[in-house]
Amino acid sequence: MKKILIILFLLKLGSTSAQDFKFAFVTDTHIGSPNGVAEEDLRRTVLDINSLGEMDFAIVTGDITEMGTDEEIKKAKELLDALVIPYYVIPGNHDTGWSESGGVSFIETFGYDKFVFEHKGYKFIGTASGPYVRMSDGHIPRDAVVWLDSVLNATPDSQPIINANHYPLDKSLDNWFEMTDRLKKHNTQFSICGHGHTNKAYDFEGIPGTMGRSNLRAKDEIGGYTIVEITDNAARFAERTPGVATHAPWREIELGHRNYVDSIAFPRPDYTSNDSYPQVSKKWSYHSDANVISTPLVKGGNVFFGNSLGKFEALDAENGQVKWFFQSEGGIFSSPSSYQDLVIFGSGDGNIYALKEKTGDLKWKVSTEASVLGSPIIDRNRIYIGGSDGKFRALNAKSGQLIWEFAGIMGPVVSKPLISDGLVIFGAWDKNLYALDQESGDLKWSWNNGTANRMYSPAMCIPVTADGVVYIVAPDRYLTALDINSGKELWRSNEATVRESIGISENKKWVYGKTMNDEIVAFPTSREEVPVAWRIDCGFGYEHVPSMLIEKAGNIFFGTKNSTVYSVNPQTKKINWAHKIDNSMANTVNIIDDHSLVVATMDGKVEWLNY
């Protein structure tokens, strides 16, 4: 009996040691941040991990860069490649929200934007979490959710899972429940995340969660990261100051078989508000297999749009069934326009495409030197579109032949231009608003708000104009009025906390803005500074997505970060109706006629609403 007990003890000891391992948990490195020390902090962390020789791999949970530029991503990979152990990385909101490629460069550089691997019996699963190209809440991409289903379907119920994401699995993600609901059906041990730049323990609907400190030094002399030690019964999290010390574990999670019982009713998106407006009905709904971050085009009985996997789709306007699709090689964030029998858009693969409206056959394509995230506008037979290669182009709509190009833009163009008074006006993520001569492409004027921070650029809004004045909004929370001929600043107002959503009345008498909390506002169009004329409290809560306000037949339409589309009467100052589609960002809507519209959401829903 004594020999049997000794054998059993040795077997248990061997099993335990086989399961024991450590990994490095690094997050929020922000390569390219203005203070210039992020590179030094990451280099020090990499050298420290290599010197310890006790970790099996490293996981880097997003915000590896400050603005997601190609240069920053390349530099981050160069630094991480110095690790002598395998590493796995996922993007965060800083890597995708301002990305000049719509996330294409991250995938091209690292080879993926989500990962799954197994180590000593554990399955590690990491997903991207956006948002992509637009300001919005965090969002697990639609294609990542589809992918996750395939991964989990191939995972034995008993296999322990460790999840990694940039955001916490809570309401900072608009579709957090898509993750928690799936992970709770399996033996998920815990989830790690970044984003908050601090050590913090979480409970994600029963799933233990741990946020790690940023790798940045902040106010300290040296940055830091986390060492995670896995034993047979616990995961311990200890902060490591590179070259100095590993501190005592600050967090311990008991490991073992998980059985998540749904006895607690956790909050979920609420659609009961739709019952209050029975005059709105869904004609059809289509769910694409990836994010849709643009405004669909309706023409010739079809609804056209692209998704973040580069698929451009044509749906039947009557029933929402797919008629045809065309596959590009990069994510599509460009809202399509039409010319005669062609539909035209840009792609993250660096091309501008013109497809046959009825068949999806390629008519022509124009290659550029970087991704094309901007949306085209067509005037007469010319296309005007900006890209991420520092250039804005005018093309012949029929042939794609270059008419002119303007160079020297220092950031990506991601929105749709305004054409007025012989000018093409657009913003870029280089702090500037540009006005080019429509015929020649010559620069007539440029303007910026004086900030040194690119994040305050007037890049996202679609400018509006009336009586020789251009109006824009930007993340600096000002409404700005400029003389259209000279670019001279006429006035700026921060009376209302407008951000990146703007609109103008059909009679050009009112400029509309969506504020960051509950309200839409109206300013009289004027060359002189004017106060807010009126406000309507719509009750949509905190709001920051760049969905423009559109007036049609005397009513204003707009979408919100949780995909509620509103119709508001500016005369009565009342809500006509509100309709929630899913829980992600609603793009700028396309008003078809007085009683119907099409809207797309970040989660890939495209819906035709009748009202």
In terms of Cα–Cα distance, which of 209, 204, 213 is closest to 238?
213
- Give the residue-averaged pLDDT of 414-437: 98
Structure tokens at 92: 């965060």
Q: What is the pLDDT of residue 6?
A: 38
- Give the residue-averaged pLDDT of 197-214: 97
Neighbours of 180 (CB within 10 A): 23
User: Could you tell me which residue, 262 or 416, shows the higher pLDDT?
Assistant: 416
Lowest mean pLDDT among 30-34, 386-390, 422-426: 30-34
Q: What is the pLDDT of residue 169?
A: 98
Q: What is the pLDDT of residue 35?
A: 83
Q: What is the pLDDT of residue 117?
A: 98
- Give the residue-averaged pLDDT of 589-595: 97
d(CA 416, CA 463): 9
Neighbours of 108 (CB within 10 A): 13
- Give the residue-averaged pLDDT of 524-539: 97
Q: What is the pLDDT of residue 16?
A: 35
- Give the residue-averaged pLDDT of 574-579: 98
Average pLDDT over the chain reads 95
Q: What is the pLDDT of residues 239-249, one digit of tens each?
A: 999 999 999 99
CA angle 485, 487, 488 (to 5 degrees): 110
Q: What is the pLDDT of residue 123?
A: 98
Q: What is the pLDDT of residue 17?
A: 37
d(CA 25, CA 510): 52
- Give the residue-averaged pLDDT of 528-549: 97
pLDDT at residue 441 above 50? Answer: yes
pLDDT at residue 147 above 90? Answer: yes
d(CA 321, CA 323): 6
Please, what's the b/e burial string for 564-590 (b: 16 or more CB within 10 A of its CB; e: otherwise)? bbbbbebeeeebbbbbbbbbbbbbbbb
d(CA 366, CA 343): 14
In terms of Cα–Cα distance, which of 111, 120, 52 is closest to 87?
111
Q: What is the pLDDT of residue 303?
A: 98
- Give the residue-averaged pLDDT of 200-212: 97
pLDDT at residue 401 above 90? Answer: yes
pLDDT at residue 34 above 90? Answer: no
User: Could you tell me which residue, 10 or 87, shows the higher pLDDT?
Assistant: 87
- Give the residue-averaged pLDDT of 274-278: 97
- Give the residue-averaged pLDDT of 459-468: 97
Confidence of residue 2 (pLDDT cuts 50, 70, 90): very low
- Give the residue-averaged pLDDT of 275-294: 97
Q: What is the pLDDT of residue 265?
A: 87
Q: What is the pLDDT of residue 125?
A: 98
Confidence of residue 262 (pLDDT cuts 50, 70, 90): confident
User: Could you tell me which residue, 73 or 1, shows the higher pLDDT?
Assistant: 73
Residue 403 identity: I
- Give the residue-averaged pLDDT of 539-562: 97
Structure tokens at 461: 């809004």
Q: What is the pLDDT of residue 92?
A: 96
pLDDT at residue 10 above 90? Answer: no
Which residue bears the tokens 């833009």?
Answer: 409
- Give the residue-averaged pLDDT of 298-307: 98
Confidence of residue 181 (pLDDT cuts 50, 70, 90): very high
Q: What is the pLDDT of residue 585?
A: 97
Contact of 344 with 354, CB cutoff 8 Å: yes
Q: What is the pLDDT of residue 1?
A: 41
Q: What is the pLDDT of residue 19?
A: 75
In terms of Cα–Cα distance, which of 314, 324, 348 is closest to 334?
348
Percent of the chain whose pLDDT exceeds 90: 95
Q: What is the pLDDT of residue 261?
A: 81
State the burial class of residue 43 (Cβ atoms within 10 Å of its Cβ: 0-12, 13-18, 19+).
Answer: middle
- Give the residue-averaged pLDDT of 364-378: 98
Contact of 78 with 43, CB cutoff 8 Å: no
- Give the residue-averaged pLDDT of 91-106: 94
d(CA 459, CA 437): 19
Q: What is the pLDDT of residues 323-361, one digit of tens each?
A: 999 999 999 999 999 999 999 999 999 999 999 999 999
User: Could you tell me which residue, 349 or 14, shows the higher pLDDT?
Assistant: 349
Confidence of residue 4 (pLDDT cuts 50, 70, 90): very low
pLDDT at residue 587 above 90? Answer: yes
Contact of 73 with 65, CB cutoff 8 Å: yes
Q: What is the pLDDT of residue 130?
A: 86
In terms of Cα–Cα distance, which of 229, 205, 211, 204 is closest to 62?
211
- Give the residue-averaged pLDDT of 571-579: 97
